[in-house]
Amino acid sequence: MTLGQLASKNRMGLLFMLPSLSLLVVFFLFPLTQVLYMSFQDWNVMGSSTWEGINNYIKALGSGEFWLSLWNTFIYTVIVTPLIFVPAILLAVMLKKTTFRTEVMRVVIFIPFTISFVSASYIWSWIYNDTYGILNFLLSKIDLISRPVNWLGETWRARVMISIMVAWKTLGFSMLIFISGLQSISQEIYEAADIDGASRIQTLFLITIPILRPTIFLALVISIAGSFKAFDQFFIMTNGGPMRTTQTIVMYINKIAFENYDMGTGSAVSVLFLILLLSISYQQIRMGGYTGE
Amino acid sequence: MNKRHSFYKLLIALPALLLSLLFLAPIAWSLISSIKHTADILKYPPILFPKNITLEQYIKLFRAGDGVFLLFIRNTIIMTTFTISLVLIISVLASYAFVSLPFKGSNFIFILILSIFMVPFQALLIPLYSILNKLRLLDTKVGMVLVYSTFFMPFCIFMFRNYFSGIPVSIRESARLDGASELTILLKFYLPLSLPAVATIVVYLFLETWNDFVLSLIFSSSNNVKNIQVGIMNFGRQRFQSDWGIINSGSIFSLLPTIIIFLMLQKYYIQGMTAGASKE
C-alpha cells in the first residue's frame, strides 16, 4: 500500500467516524467541561456570570437538603439491591436449563423490564392507592391489616414499596445475566458434586455462587449505579414527600437547577454526583464488563 | 411410573408458573381497570372481574385537552423513528471504521465514546440545557433526537464493533482487490452478516427512546415536543382528584408497543443484552 493510499484510507476512516465524533464533542465532551466550569460560576437570569471559586461547593455541601437527598438515595439503594438480587439469583438457578417452559417463563419475567418507569410507577401507585387500592383490599381479605394503609404516605413504607416496584420491574434483567453466567459453568462440576453427595443448597452456596461471583459483582455495580440515578419512580410515586424524605439526588439537581434556577449550585451538585457515580462505574471498567443498562 | 413422573414435573412447574403469572398481575390489573366504566373504577371493594367492559377510558384519554395525547404519541413516534435511524447509521459507519479503517488515535476515540456510558447524563442536564438553548434546539424534536443519539450510541457502537471484528478479514480484502469501495463492503458484506445485532439495537433504542422521561421532562415544554411519558405524567398531576381511568389507559397504551416489539425480537434482544455481561 502506498503512502497516498494509506492517507486516503485514514481520511475515509475519519469520515466514517465524523457523525458520531461530532455528537461526542458537542453533546458530551463540551457539556462535561461546561458543567465543571459552571460549577465555579454564579449564573443570573440575564445569562451573565461571575467567578465564584468554590463557593457553590461550599453552598452545596453546607445544605442539609443535599445530604438528605444523598442519604435518601443511599438508603433506597440499600433496600432495593437485595430485593433485586436474591430473587434474581434464585430464579436464574431455577430457570437455567433451556426448555420451552423455562424460555417462556424467562420472557414473561423480563416483560416488566421493557415498560417505562412512568407506566410502572402509575400501575403500582394504583395498586398501592390508599382508598381504592387492590393491595389494601387483598391484605384485609386475608386479615393481615385491619384498616387501609397509606403505602406511599410514610417515609420508610414508601421507600420499601417503591423498591418492591423497582425490583419487579428490573430483576428480569439481572436474572438473564445470571442465567448466561450459569450456562457457562461446566456441567462436570455439578456431576462431581453430585457423586460426592452434595445437597442442592450446598451446591448453590459452595459451587454456583462462588463461580458466579464475577458476574454477580458486575451486575451489582450496574444495578447500584442505576439506583443512584433514580428519578422517575420517586418523582411520580411520592414526588419526594413526605417532607423531602424520598427526594433523590437527581431530583435535587433538577429542583435547584430548573425550579430555583440556581445553575451554579446545581452544577456543583452535578459534579459531586458525577464523581460518586464514576467511582462506582470504575469498578465496572476494572471488571472489563459492559452492558446496555 | 410415567404418570408419577409427569405429576412430579407438574409439582415442580406449578410454583414457577404461579410466580411468572405474578409478574404479569400488576399489568393485568391496570388493563382491567382501564376497561371499566368510570363509576366502577372508584369502587371499594374493587371489582376484580368487571361484567361491563368499555373503551370509555381510552376515548377519554384521546379526547382530553383537544386530543393532546395523540400529539404526544405522534411526537414520540417521530423522535423514536429518527433516533433509531440516526443511531443505526452513525454507529454502523463508526464501528466499521474502528474495525477495518483504523488510524492512529482511533482507539482513543473508541474509548471516549464508551466513556459516555460511564458518565450518567443526569449529571449533564444543566450544561446540556444551556447548549441546546445556545443552538436554538431547546424544546425541539431535533434537539431531543440529537441528545438521545449521543447517549444511546455507545452501546450500539460497542455492539457493532464486536460483531464486525468477528467477520473474517479475508472478506473485505478480496472485496477491496475487486475494487469495491469501503461503503460497498460495509453495505454488501458487513451489514447483512450483522442482522442479529441490528435487531438487538432496534429494540434497545426503541425502549430507551420511547420510555425516556427525564430528558423529555427537562428539555421540552411545548405540546409539540413532549413525549408520551411526560404526557401521562401531565394527566397524573391534575390539580384535583387524579383520573385513574385516564392514568391506567395511558399507561397501558404506552407499554403495549414496547412489549410487542420486545416479544417480536426477544430472541435477538436477550442474546445481545446478555452477551456483554457474561464475557467474564
B159: in domain: yes
Contact B131 A13 (CB under 8 A): no
Nearest partner of B100 among A123, A67, A9, judged by Cα: A9
Nearest partner of A95 among A86, A84, A87, A103, judged by Cα: A103
Dihedral pair phi/psi, residue A42, rounded to 5°: -110, 125
**Strand A49-51 and strand A41-43: pairing?**
antiparallel
Lookup: cell for B46: 374493587
Nearest partner of B59 among B277, B197, B253, B254, judged by Cα: B253
Would you state the pLDDT for residue B4?
64
CB-count exposure of residue A164 (10 Å: 0-12, 13-18, 19+): middle
CB B70 within 8 A of CB B223: no
B7: in domain: no
Nearest to B126 among A10, A267, A289 (CB): A267
DSSP classification of residue A51: E
Distance CA A277, CA B119 (A): 7
Would you state the pLDDT for residue B137?
97
Q: Which residues contact A88 (CB under 8 A, 6 or more apart)?
A: A171, A172, A174, A175, A178, A219
- Name every chain A residue with its beta carbon within 8 A of the beta carbon of B264: none
Lookup: cell for A265: 449550585
- Name every chain A residue with its beta carbon within 8 A of the beta carbon of B110: none
ipTM exceeding the 0.85 mark: yes
Would you state the pLDDT for residue A2?
66
B44: in domain: no
The shortest C-alpha distance from B171 to chain A (Å) reads: 17
Domain count, chain B: 1
CB B121 within 8 A of CB B243: no
Would you state the pLDDT for residue A1?
58
CB A225 within 8 A of CB A216: no
Question: From B242, which residue of chain A is nearest by alpha-carbon distance?
Answer: A126
Q: Which CATH number does the domain housing residue B210 bear? A: 1.10.3720.10
* Domain of B64, in residue numbers: 55-274
Residue A50 three-state SS: strand
Q: Which residues contact A102 (CB under 8 A, 6 or more apart)?
A: A94, A95, A96
Residue appearing with cell numbers 443511531: B87
Dihedral pair phi/psi, residue A51, rounded to 5°: -70, 130
Q: For chain A, which residues score pLDDT lower than 50?
A: 291-293
**Per residue in B194-214, pLDDT tens?**
999 999 999 999 999 999 999
**Per residue in A238-263, pLDDT tens?**
999 899 999 999 999 999 999 998 99
Would you state the pLDDT for residue A292?
42
B177: in domain: yes
Interface probe with A: pick from B104, B122, B209, most Cβ of A within 10 Å: B122
- Residues 148-187 (A) with a CB less than 8 A from some CB of B: 168, 172-173, 176-177, 179-181, 184
Contact B248 A126 (CB under 8 A): yes
Q: Which residues contact B230 (CB under 8 A, 6 or more apart)?
A: B72, B213, B216, B217, B220
Whether residue B45 is preceded by a cis peptide bond, meaning omega within 30 degrees of 0, is: yes
- Name every chain B residue with its beta carbon within 8 A of the beta carbon of A31: 124, 127-128, 131
The shortest C-alpha distance from A262 to chain B (Å) reads: 10
CB A235 within 8 A of CB A120: no
Residue appearing with cell numbers 438515595: A73
B90: in domain: yes
B35: in domain: no
The shortest C-alpha distance from B1 to chain A (Å) reads: 22
- Residues 214-233 (A) with a CB less than 8 A from some CB of B: 214-215, 218-219, 222, 225, 228-229, 231-232
Question: From A236, which residue of chain B is nearest by alpha-carbon distance?
Answer: B233
Please give the domain boundaries of chain A with CATH numbers for all domains: 1-38 (no CATH), 54-287 (1.10.3720.10)
- Name every chain A residue with its beta carbon within 8 A of the beta carbon of B274: 176-177, 179-180, 291
Tens of each residue's pLDDT in chain B, 280 residues: 456 667 776 776 777 778 888 899 999 999 999 999 999 999 889 999 999 999 999 999 999 888 999 999 999 999 999 999 999 999 999 999 999 999 888 999 999 999 998 899 999 999 999 999 999 999 999 999 999 999 999 999 999 999 999 999 999 999 999 999 999 999 999 999 999 999 999 999 999 999 999 999 999 999 999 999 999 999 998 766 789 999 999 999 999 999 999 999 999 998 888 775 544 3
Strand partners, A50: A42
- Name every chain B residue with its beta carbon within 8 A of the beta carbon of A231: 122, 213-214
